[in-house]
Amino acid sequence: MDDVTADIVVVGAGLAGLAAALAAREAGASVVVLECAPEEERGGNTRFSNGAMRAVYDGVADIEHLVGEIGEQERAHIDFGSYSREQYFDDMARVTQYRADLALTELLVDRSRDTLAWLRGQGVKFMPLYAWQFRSPDGFIRFAGGSAVETYDGGEGLSAALFAAVARAGISVRYGTRAVALIERSGRIVGVTARCGRDRVEILGRSVVLAAGGFEANAEWRTRYLGPGFELAKVRGSRFNTGDGLRMAIAAGAMTYGNWSGCHSASWDLNAPDVNELAYGTVFKRDDYFYGIMVNMRGERFVDEGADVRAVTYAKLGRVILAQPGQVAWQVFDGKVTHLLHEEYRHRRSARVRAETLEALADKMEGIDKASFLRTVADFNKAVRRDIPFDPSGKKDGRCTTGLAIPKSNWAETIDTPPFEAYGVTCGVTFTFGGIRIAENCGVVDVDGERIPGLFAAGAMVGGLFYFNYPGGAGLMGAAVFGRIAGASAAAFVTTS
């Protein structure tokens, strides 16, 4: 084939696509990466992430292998703990209601630790993820297990490190090139048709890796698959994730798989743009809801804000908010806890109101049923178990309410101390869960259960891993694990076919 551009064509330049490109290049294949975004917006959802990754680790030695030596003074006030293979499986099973594909989960869990080390070898820099851990009043930090590390400068730093590795490896990246269809010849996938502006070009290879993300930035698809009202949700990540890769794969006969009506949907500031911008990153996340209460426009609580730790509740909260009147809710805090809120809450564009009395606060909460709201707070305050100490360290403290139709299971603190603050929030969609079916080598499976020769997939295009919810840090980890496998498998296919 004299017109081959490279051995492997990778579609998408987020973590999954770049991991695939690097793994394929390590195996000796030539690679071209297609990125539909212009260079200044490259990187997909990876650039919008906080860089946290959930992986198995045995203790501080595993963390030091990634971040470098941790000094004695730092060690003295930190318990780094561990996160076993069994704990990872349990978390995946619990939050996905035992639906997660077993084979895919095994790959995610068992490849997590060595994939982090591989990323470190590619130049990705890590640091301990202190922000997600349990903090005692005296400053002692106890790691919760799971996501123990994050990348320097979050997703921005992760993306920059990977693009630098791609450049060192001599891998070509074509920006402003949107793949729109797969090319099949003699029963195998050999490239893609792409748009460069309004021009169509054929980019040929010997195999293709699809890593183009989900469809969260496609309002019509969100409504079709996630359900009515989701066209009104805000997009937390890249505006370029519109389902192109999924559309191409399905048109080529790929089997759809997984939770197509499910997505990572979190509490997102009401004043955030409809589609996020790189300049904002994660400043609109509102994930400290468990320190207060949430009410809808009727002034009523509608969810147990303290059901579990943040890492396993935040990604399903957006859907619940979207179901409320006006697709809006208010997070309400009093003066005893506002100092605990993350710095994002202080962003100048936050939909924040503040008052010295609850009555005055309600007057500023546009559209709220004031009388109902005041009754809700009064009833909540009466129901708080004051005999159980409030522990804001992040671990479940058991301080709950009694007698309410919707309980608060942990971190129930009375709302009675001024100044009072309320934050308007809505649903923000990060990525979608539905995708296509892959084999354990990331080869795409068709509707008859057979492999599609020459076609591989990774990242958010993979269906069957997350259902209803996900444990924090598992999304980026999955992108890295399956991207690496897909690249190596595509290279092996090229050399053996």
Same domain (yes/no): 282, 422: yes
Contacts of 74 (CB under 8 A, 6+ apart): none
What does the block give as tokens for 140? 């002692």
Distance CA 48, CA 238 (A): 7
Domain assignment present for residue 226? The answer is: no
Domain assignment present for residue 254? The answer is: no
Same domain (yes/no): 112, 129: yes
Domain assignment present for residue 113? The answer is: yes
What does the block give as tokens for 487? 């690249």
Picking from 393, 409, 428, the residue at the C-terminal end of a domain is 428
Distance CA 460, CA 16 (A): 8
Distance CA 315, CA 75 (A): 31
How many residues does the structure list for the chain?
497
Domain assignment present for residue 3? The answer is: no
Same domain (yes/no): 208, 288: no
Same domain (yes/no): 121, 17: yes
Same domain (yes/no): 211, 322: no
Same domain (yes/no): 334, 197: no
Strand order in the sheet with 207-210: 172-175, 31-35, 8-11, 207-210, 451-457, 443-445
Same domain (yes/no): 438, 361: no
Whole-number pLDDT of residue 126? 98
* Among the listed residues 414, 421, 415, the one whose alpha carbon sits nearest the alpha carbon of residue 361: 421
137: number of Cβ within 10 Å: 8
Whole-number pLDDT of residue 2? 43
What does the block give as tokens for 373? 């709201």
Distance CA 435, CA 255 (A): 9
CATH code for the domain of 45: 3.50.50.60
Same domain (yes/no): 181, 202: yes
Q: Taking the model in full, what pTM does it have?
A: 0.95
Domain assignment present for residue 257? The answer is: no
Which residue type does 92 have? M
For 228, counting Cβ atoms within 10 Å of its Cβ (0-12 exposed, 13-18 middle, 19+ buried), the class is exposed
**Is residue 209 a contact partner of residue 31, using CB atoms and an 8 Å limit?**
no
Distance CA 490, CA 497 (A): 11
What does the block give as tokens for 429? 């969609």
Domain assignment present for residue 119? The answer is: yes
Distance CA 221, CA 230 (A): 9
pLDDT tens-digit profile, the chain (497 residues): 346 689 999 999 999 999 999 999 999 999 999 999 999 999 999 999 999 999 999 999 999 999 999 988 888 899 999 999 999 999 999 999 999 999 999 999 999 999 999 999 999 999 999 988 888 877 899 998 889 999 999 999 999 999 999 999 999 999 999 999 999 999 999 999 999 988 999 999 999 999 999 999 999 999 999 999 999 999 999 999 999 999 999 999 999 999 999 999 999 999 999 999 999 999 999 999 999 999 999 999 999 999 999 989 999 999 999 999 999 999 999 999 999 999 999 999 999 999 999 999 999 999 999 999 999 999 999 999 999 999 988 889 999 999 999 999 999 999 999 999 999 999 999 999 999 999 999 999 999 999 999 999 999 999 999 999 999 999 999 999 999 999 999 999 999 98
Distance CA 456, CA 192 (A): 13
**Is residue 97 a contact partner of residue 468, using CB atoms and an 8 Å limit?**
yes
What does the block give as tokens for 308? 């579990």
What does the block give as tokens for 1? 């084939």
Whole-number pLDDT of residue 136? 80
Distance CA 112, CA 126 (A): 14
Contacts of 149 (CB under 8 A, 6+ apart): 52, 53, 55, 63, 66, 67, 116, 126, 127, 128, 129
b/e per residue 301-336 (b: at least 16 CB within 10 A): bbbbbbbebbbbbbbbbbbbbbebeebbbbbbbbeb
Same domain (yes/no): 130, 275: no
Contacts of 322 (CB under 8 A, 6+ apart): 229, 230, 232, 233, 265, 426, 427
Same domain (yes/no): 280, 329: yes
* Among the listed residues 434, 429, 444, 431, the one whose alpha carbon sits nearest the alpha carbon of residue 476: 431
The values of phi and psi at residue 278, to 5°, are -60, -30
Q: Strand, coil or helix: what is 428?
A: strand
Picking from 387, 403, 428, the residue at the C-terminal end of a domain is 428
Domain assignment present for residue 238? The answer is: no
274: number of Cβ within 10 Å: 10
State how many domains the chain has.
2
Same domain (yes/no): 75, 189: yes
Condensed to tens digits (0 to 9), the pLDDT of residues 316-347 reads: 999 999 999 999 999 999 999 999 999 999 99
Which residue type does 131 have? A
Condensed to tens digits (0 to 9), the pLDDT of residues 98-155 reads: 999 999 999 999 999 999 999 999 999 999 999 888 888 778 999 988 899 999 999 9
Picking from 369, 402, 428, the residue at the C-terminal end of a domain is 428
* Among the listed residues 188, 212, 156, the one whose alpha carbon sits nearest the alpha carbon of residue 13: 212
Condensed to tens digits (0 to 9), the pLDDT of residues 240-293 reads: 999 999 999 999 999 999 999 999 999 999 999 999 999 999 999 999 999 999
Same domain (yes/no): 30, 107: yes
Residue 400, CA distances (Å) to 149, 307, 437 in order: 31, 10, 42
What is the extent of the structural domain holding 401? 265-428
Angle, helices 15-26/474-496, rounded to nearest 10 degrees: 40
CATH code for the domain of 408: 3.90.700.10
Domain assignment present for residue 233? The answer is: no
